[in-house]
A and B are shown apart, each in its own frame.
Chain A
Amino acid sequence: MSAPVEVVLSADSAGQLFNCAVFDPHSGSEFLSYRGGNTSSRSLTVLNGEYILGAQLGKNFINVWEIQRKDQLQQKIVCPGIVTCLCASPDGLYVLAGIAEAIYLWEMSTGNLLAILSRHYQDVSCIRFTDDSSHFVSGGKDNLALIWNLSSVVQLDSSRTPEPCHILSRHSLPITDIHCGLMGPQARVATASLDQTVKVWEVSSGEMLLSVLFDVGIMSVTFDPCEYFLFCGGSDGNIFQVSLCSTSLSRDKTFQTDSDGNQVFKGHRNLVTCLSVSMDGTLLLSGSNDETVRMWDVQSKQCIWSINHKGHVTNAVIIPAPANMFLADSHPAVPLPRFSRHLNPSEQGDGTGSGGMCLRLGASTQEREGTYLEKADELYSLMCAVTDKSVFGDGENTKVRVSELEEEVKTLKKINKDLYEFSTQLLTKPN
């Protein structure tokens, strides 16, 4: 069997059968399972395609598995408090954890604790990175969502406390879920809240683009990769599909089912706590407090399969299959460092200096980098230049180059032939 492109990773709060398990997105059959403990909600994450990290429910440590050694709990990272949410950056360099009101940021290469951000007033409920790891968004039970620039958070300059770039304060009840779209800093981010709305924001400006009001509190939210649809998991077990292509310009709207895109997936009987869409946008995965994980076909709104768990589903996500997952004898490229529990380990009298050098962005570098539009322009002109040169370049040069290459091919063929003849002679020569 060839390795699948995408896999489903899910975990429940009971942890009787497994802590988390990997399933086939098309058939629902179980590939692997990782044992030991259980995982709290929104805290299961894959680090760099090599490790699985999951925060223990109600305890102050994080379970870590190497992705190929499924049955063995690799290590426990002890944290300063109960971890409420966890997220690893897509480039695998940083790990964020929400611990009570504060957000902890670790650097993966050294295990150093780089920053403790305490801008939330209540427990942090969800953290998400943008796909290029340049920004992250955190949402808390204090009704606020904050957009942070990673490079401004990891500064050597310790005199300035890092500030979020935008504060999204339009929700009136705790934020339950966040989803970041693609396109890095130009992405859109969706926040779901118990106040029965889902709001879509722009990361770059912090402006609200859309607010959809539902009949029930929303527990989870996701986009499909094209951002045609917004999927929102309600607290009554319904999943609402909101079409984002509708022509109306108003920023506030109320959800109503209709024929063009606004539809409901019915099947769950309790809070829908996790949602995820596959890479091609045809499959929708949902996990619920009714202890099932369901896979839906987006086009027909049919449930394809469902898997029963033993407790509330806390995490369910469709991820690209990591390369190491099905190779039992592979090893992670980088060993997992020991996570530091304090800021500035050198000041703690930690004599065992690692001898490494710490590289971080200074404050000055982020003043005025070229804007993304300019970069896009530059890239475009570069691409145009390449195609112009190779396809429509001046004929003279091309001809010369072609003849040169033909010459070389001839020479190579000749050498090959000589080699062949020599070896046949050698072999056929009677000794």
Chain B
Amino acid sequence: MKAKKQKRQGDFQKVQLKVGKKKPKADNATNVNFRSKAIHLPEQLKHVDSGPTKHRQLDIMDLLSKLHHINSNIKQGALVGLRELLSAQPSMIELHASAVLSEVAALFTDKDGSVRAAAVRLLRFITQCIPAERVVPFFPLLSAHLTCAMTHISEAIQEDALRVLDVLLEHYPGLLSQRHTVLLTNFLELISQKRKAATGQDKSGKGGFALTISTNRSVTAQQWRLTVLLRLGSFLQAVVEERPLDEGVTSSIGLGMWAGEKGSVTSVDVSWEEHVFGKGRIQVFENSGAVPTPHSAYRLRPDSKAGAGMNKELCSAETVQGFAGTLVPLLLEIWVEAAGGDHVQTDSGHLLSAEAMALMFQILTILQLLRRVSPHRDQKDILDAWFRNSYLADFKHHFMKNFPYGLLEVARHKKKADGKRIRQQVAAGTVAGGNVEPLALNVTLCQVMVTLSLRGQDHVEAEDADWLGTIRVFIRETLSNGGKLSSKHLAALLEVVWRMIVTQRSRVVTDDLLQAVYVQYQQRNLAVSVRSLLLCFFSQFYIQEHQNHPHIARSRILARWLASLPVQLVQLGSRNPQLSAQLLETIHPAAARGNKDLLQSLQKNACSIYDPQEGCVVVLPVESQKRLVQILHSLPAFPAELLACLSQVCNTGRVSASLATMLIRTIHLRSPLCGWSSSSQDVPVKDVDYLSFFFTTLTGFSSEMLQALQDTDEDSLLPSSILSPLSVFATTLEQFLHHWDIVEEVCHCLDTLGSRAQCFDVIQNAIIKNLCGLVVVPDCVCAAILRCVPRLLDVNFLPSDTLLHFLSDCCLSMLNLLLQLEQSAHKRDAVWEACFAALSTVPRLLRLVLQSFRVCDLCEEELPVLAQILSLLLQHTQLRNHMMANASLLQHIIQDLTHFYGGETREQWLTDLLYCYSVTLFGHRANMGMRDIY
């Protein structure tokens, strides 16, 4: 031991320095005997270990440790510093979230008000930066501190706790709503205290709580209660909205309440390829997962997802009842106190001061939310029944006695006091609840009361008649007094109307209320949102409730409304496509269901809806156009003028070709000639009209237009000549192709008719009557005729000479046109296809065409054209046989051609023609020869 000590002393021997002697050099001294011209620093030395600092060079750990300091000024300073630091460095929040949150939460219950205020401010800042899913692990701590603050003995801390609650509600409503068991009791304790078990003789003695009044608060008891109720209301709102099932339902304004709750099914998409070799199991659910089979109730740990676990307790009617049983008496008591105070001042009970009104509005909102807390419909019904049994008398007594309420005008003589009060309200955070419109109050009261009326029980109807009658009168007057309502109030009112109609089951009530809504609906200059809300109400009402309730089905107002829809559609025109689409969304199902009123009105307005110039079918967007065409399926009858309109709609090109095709098919299907709808006795499309529709659509031009065309002399007109006996009116490429698609569909439909011979006869007559005399013909008409004739021609049917002559003229003109068309291959193909089909199917046509080549009459310039046409015909293998049948005629033409062509040099076109001719001839001969050999 001693030896060791000596040894160690030897190791650390102190070097004694003496004055005047040189200091001995250390062993590790750096030799600095070098020189450099410049020192290059690639980067600055960084302050690595301690993070960024701010506010007097204090880093985050320092600041956090200062939060424990005993002096409140330092604490407040540290909080301010933290906020500055974090706002400068947002990335640090994530890093230090746990430390910061826990420290800040601890300060919720600090003695000093300014510290608490700073803590709330910091919390507000932090919550803005951290999304809800990241804060989940710290939330139990936060809410524990919150609870602690809410139940604190000091009233100032309680008040500030509400602000913390505000912040959390704003940013993490889902997380907060999971803690409802604790928080709800906290709320109760803020405004009341548990009654001693023995002293239950109070007059309001249902609940186990009694209101408290503390005199040393900074605000009056009523204002305090109002602030608490505001928070309670928004908390319940959060609970309702964060329910996992029907988020979508509550977000759409009001409509969800009409629609009733429907469990939406979320489906899982499984790609089986991934699971072929996988060992993992796939959980299979019955009924596509809507109702999972409960194999085991055991859970490893509580589900931390938003709202997933909380429904265990709040969704059942019993728990809500338990809570409501405590809360509702308190609310009533609060109201009685507030109203009692007012009554002293005024005699008329229906006029309320602004404050009382705000209080009542909050009470009603909370009542409404309580009912909506449980998500299932049957539970809701249980809850409604329970509310009715327990509180109907109270509600009637306290709320309905003076209904409807109005605002008491306070003379503003005490400006100072007013300002003070406002300041107080600001301090208590009641600005939101400070000014409530009387209308909003009344509407909410209606909503609450109406839920108490039970559906479908006759014996209670008489009891309810008095107060339901009052509500009915109020609603009727509000809706029909001509005033404009905001869409929020209107939605609430409509909800009340819906509920009353469904529960009361009486035609008088239905008509009464619907009439009022209809008056509102008929107002001019409504805002679009209001208009579409009303529209939505009616259409949902019709679609959902129509079937189940005969008293609704027989309502005259609903019928009148339906009948007015087509007129509105016409009047609306193209001004508001969304609204038109909404109208169509009702018209279509109603028409499909065969609603008589609607169909009648639709029939009456059909011609203006389907007008080719400014009808809805051409001015609306494509989706609505499609719907309009689909509505044609349910139209009871197609008179001739409607068909004329429709035919023009198809041809004017303002609806797409595919839609026009759909329209044609619809007409085809509705006709008895099609043979699909055989059962119906009445005939929607008469055969005559059907055929004339198809012929008009086929030609694409009305007789007036054709007539007008005869007299014009436009540039686009190609003059007639011998090679083009008809003067061709060249249409634009777009129009031509559109028409081409339509002709295809028309041909297909006519093709499938029963007796082809008769059908062809009709078409032939129509062509002869309407087209044969024309001098100027549009090219698309020529092409259409040439295309449809060979398709419809029956083998055994002989077409008339007039028709054939006209066809040959058409064909020749088209062939002539073909040679001039260079710009569009598409059009060329179409024209050639038509000519080719006609020539190859009707051999007599070819002969007629060849006969019309009178070479002697042609002038010099036309010879090459003729030669080109001929070589075109000769080049096609399928036509060769037909050409050879007319070999002598052909030979004659070619001889004439060579004869009349007086040029010395042999031109290219002539060479080509002669080559084609010889090839054709030779090939034919060879074929013949082969046949002879065998």
Contact B293 A373 (CB under 8 A): yes
Contact B588 A172 (CB under 8 A): yes
Tell me the minimal C-beta distance from A138 to chain B in angstroms: 15
Tell me the minimal C-beta distance from B636 to chain A in angstroms: 12
**A216 in the interface (beta carbon within 8 A):** yes
Name the contact of A247 in the complex, choosing from B271, B290, B547, B589 (C-beta under 8 A): B271
A122 to B595, CA, bound (A): 10
The A interface is mostly helix, strand or loop, or mixed, namely loop
With A41-B678, A84-B679, A216-B665 known as contacts, the answer to whether A174 contacts B633 (CB < 8 A) is: yes
A57 to B681, CA, bound (A): 12
Q: Point out the residues of chain A lying under 8 angstroms from B9, CB to CB.
A: none
**A224 in the interface (beta carbon within 8 A):** no
Contact A121 B592 (CB under 8 A): yes
A57 to B678, CA, bound (A): 8
**A221 in the interface (beta carbon within 8 A):** no
Name the contact of B678 in the complex, choosing from A58, A217, A236 (C-beta under 8 A): A58
Contact B287 A195 (CB under 8 A): no
Q: Point out the residues of chain A lying under 8 angstroms from B679, CB to CB.
A: 40, 58, 82, 84, 123
Q: Point out the residues of chain B lying under 8 angstroms from A216, CB to CB.
A: 665
Tell me the minimal C-beta distance from B677 to chain A in angstroms: 8
With A205-B287, A207-B288 known as contacts, the answer to whether A13 contacts B678 (CB < 8 A) is: yes
With A271-B676, A289-B752, A371-B293 known as contacts, the answer to whether A204 contacts B287 (CB < 8 A) is: yes
**A249 in the interface (beta carbon within 8 A):** yes
A40 to B679, CA, bound (A): 8
Contact A374 B288 (CB under 8 A): no
Q: Point out the residues of chain A lying under 8 angstroms from B592, CB to CB.
A: 121-122, 141-143, 173-174
**B593 in the interface (beta carbon within 8 A):** yes
**B267 in the interface (beta carbon within 8 A):** yes
Contact A204 B286 (CB under 8 A): yes
**B669 in the interface (beta carbon within 8 A):** yes
**B41 in the interface (beta carbon within 8 A):** no
**B594 in the interface (beta carbon within 8 A):** yes
CB within 8 Å of B: which A271-298 residues? 271, 289-290
**A312 in the interface (beta carbon within 8 A):** yes
With A142-B594, A195-B630, A270-B752 known as contacts, the answer to whether A204 contacts B288 (CB < 8 A) is: yes
With A13-B678, A123-B679, A270-B752 known as contacts, the answer to whether A143 contacts B286 (CB < 8 A) is: no
Write the A8-42 contact mask toward B (1 if CB under 8 angstroms, else 0). 00000100000000000000000000000000110
A389 to B284, CA, bound (A): 29
CB within 8 Å of A: which B574-593 residues? 588-589, 592-593
Write the B276-308 contact mask toward A (1 if CB under 8 angstroms, else 0). 000000001011101001000000000000000
CB within 8 Å of A: which B234-289 residues? 265, 267, 269, 271, 273, 284, 286-288
CB within 8 Å of A: which B680-719 residues? 680
Task: Report the nearest A residue to B745, measured CB to CB.
Answer: A236
CB within 8 Å of B: which A289-344 residues? 289-290, 312
Tell me the minimal C-beta distance from B50 to chain A in angstroms: 52
CB within 8 Å of A: which B880-919 residues? none
Q: Point out the residues of chain B lying under 8 angstroms from A41, CB to CB.
A: 678
Contact A374 B665 (CB under 8 A): no
Tell me the minimal C-beta distance from B596 to chain A in angstroms: 11
Task: Report the nearest B residue to A119, measured CB to CB.
Answer: B547
A141 to B287, CA, bound (A): 28
A270 to B680, CA, bound (A): 21
A368 to B68, CA, bound (A): 61
Contact A122 B594 (CB under 8 A): yes
Q: Point out the residues of chain B lying under 8 angstroms from A141, CB to CB.
A: 592
Q: Point out the residues of chain A lying under 8 angstroms from B676, CB to CB.
A: 219, 271, 289
Tell me the minimal C-beta distance from A369 to chain B in angstroms: 12
With A173-B630, A249-B271 known as contacts, the answer to whether A40 contacts B593 (CB < 8 A) is: no
Q: Point out the residues of chain A lying under 8 angstroms from B110, CB to CB.
A: none
Contact B288 A202 (CB under 8 A): yes
Contact A194 B633 (CB under 8 A): yes
A235 to B745, CA, bound (A): 12
**A422 in the interface (beta carbon within 8 A):** no
Contact A249 B286 (CB under 8 A): no
Write the A65-76 contact mask toward B (1 if CB under 8 angstroms, else 0). 000000000000
Task: Report the nearest A residue to B668, measured CB to CB.
Answer: A235
Contact A235 B290 (CB under 8 A): no
Q: Point out the residues of chain B lying under 8 angstroms from A269, CB to CB.
A: 751-752
Tell me the minimal C-beta distance from B667 to chain A in angstroms: 13
Contact B288 A205 (CB under 8 A): yes
Write the B130-156 contact mask toward A (1 if CB under 8 angstroms, else 0). 000000000000000000000000000
**A residues with CB within 8 A of B:** 13, 40-41, 57-58, 82, 84, 119, 121-123, 141-143, 172-174, 194-196, 202, 204-205, 207, 215-217, 219, 235-237, 247, 249, 269-271, 289-290, 312, 371-374
Q: 17 A-B residue contacts at CB 8 Å? A: A40-B678, A58-B679, A142-B594, A143-B589, A172-B630, A173-B592, A194-B633, A195-B630, A202-B288, A207-B288, A247-B273, A269-B751, A289-B675, A290-B752, A372-B286, A373-B286, A374-B293
Other than the given A121-B593, A142-B592, 19 more pairs (CB < 8 A) read: A57-B678, A119-B547, A121-B592, A141-B592, A143-B589, A173-B592, A174-B592, A174-B633, A194-B633, A202-B288, A204-B286, A204-B287, A205-B288, A205-B290, A207-B267, A217-B669, A271-B752, A371-B293, A372-B286
Across chains A and B, which 9 residue pairs bring their CB atoms closest together, nearest first?
A: A121-B593, A205-B288, A270-B752, A371-B286, A143-B592, A142-B592, A142-B593, A204-B287, A205-B287
